[in-house]
Amino acid sequence: MSVWHCDLCGSERAQPFSAHTVRCSDCSLVATHPTPAAAELQRRYGSGYYAGWDGGGARALLWQRRLDIVRRFLPSGRILDAGCGAGEFVRTARAAGYEAEGTEFSDAARAAVRDFPVYPGLAEAPGPYRAVTLWHALEHTPSPTDILSQAHSVLAPGGLLFVAVPNLESYWFNAAYRLAKGKRLELYTPKTKEPHLFHFSRQTLRRLLDKTGFPPLLEGCDVPDADWRYRLSDWPARALFRLTGVNWTTTLFSVCVADDLSRMT
């Protein structure tokens, strides 16, 4: 196995977890290994990656529900959607009066945006912002620690972070998938449409947020998926979460406030 450094704790000790992934022996963070090269990732996020996600009522509702959550904490102001993709959330927020901008790694996605400012990364975004949103983007990045540290840097004092990622502990959905397809759901394969480079549990996400200066105000699960089949198969886990607080749903979601005292250098 080639050299591996844990993005969360810096450890170099890891064990194979599943095909193409390892788990840190010290903090249990699960990561895709080896990480695909930047050029390979750029190729995978070509225009075809976004083609299936252009609008539709269910997806519009999903973005509206996410904005409704943001509005509960921040009724207006300047916000940055990191990993904005084709820009659905930015447009939803702008239509509601927010001064919203985006960042996007994909050259193809960025080139297609004409109607709002979009930057290649957080380092290029001209802060300060009142909030940064990361809707299923953090798991696609080669270093979540770097992304969250950069998010901290572009936020105004007391700024907010909204982060949603897939849940490694989505036991219910994984069981349903195995039953329906007769095979296990792989975290990563070289042909997966969604190249997830990190696979967070509630514990590893919380530790990452603590490390980068983002104590959570709220922890839970993301709004229901736009695809009714995913919604249906995740429903029992969402009911369990509401009753017990145990999160076996397909997603993790946190709202955090940037902590000045633990700001990283």
Q: Does 26 bind Zn ion (CB under 5 A)?
A: yes
Tell me, what DSSP letter sits at residue 133?
E
Q: Which two tokens stand for residue 197?
A: 């480079």
- From the list 20-28, 97-105, 121-129, 255-263, the region that binds Zn ion by CB under 5 A is 20-28
- Between 228-244 and 171-181, two packed helices, what is the crossing angle to 10 degrees? 150
Q: Is 29 or 255 the residue whose CB approaches Zn ion more closely?
A: 29
- From the list 7-15, 106-114, 149-157, 209-217, the region that binds Zn ion by CB under 5 A is 7-15
Q: Is 9 or 163 the residue whose CB approaches Zn ion more closely?
A: 9
Minimal distance in Å, beta carbon 13 to Zn ion?
Answer: 8
Report whether 144 contacts 7 (CB < 8 A). yes
Type of residue numbered 194: E
Half-sphere exposure of residue 128: CA atoms within 13 angstroms, side-chain side: 10
Q: Does 8 bind Zn ion (CB under 5 A)?
A: yes
Report whether 84 contacts 102 (CB < 8 A). yes
The correct pick among 4, 11, 219, 236 for binding Zn ion (CB under 5 A) is 11
Q: Does 24 bind Zn ion (CB under 5 A)?
A: yes
- From the list 19-27, 41-49, 154-162, 211-219, the region that binds Zn ion by CB under 5 A is 19-27
Report whether 205 contacts 218 (CB < 8 A). no
Q: Is 10 or 128 the residue whose CB approaches Zn ion more closely?
A: 10
Q: Which residues pair with 99 in a beta bridge?
A: 78
Minimal distance in Å, beta carbon 25 to Zn ion?
Answer: 8
Report whether 153 contacts 230 (CB < 8 A). no
The residue ranges that bind Zn ion (CB under 5 A) are 6, 8-9, 11, 24, 26-27, 29
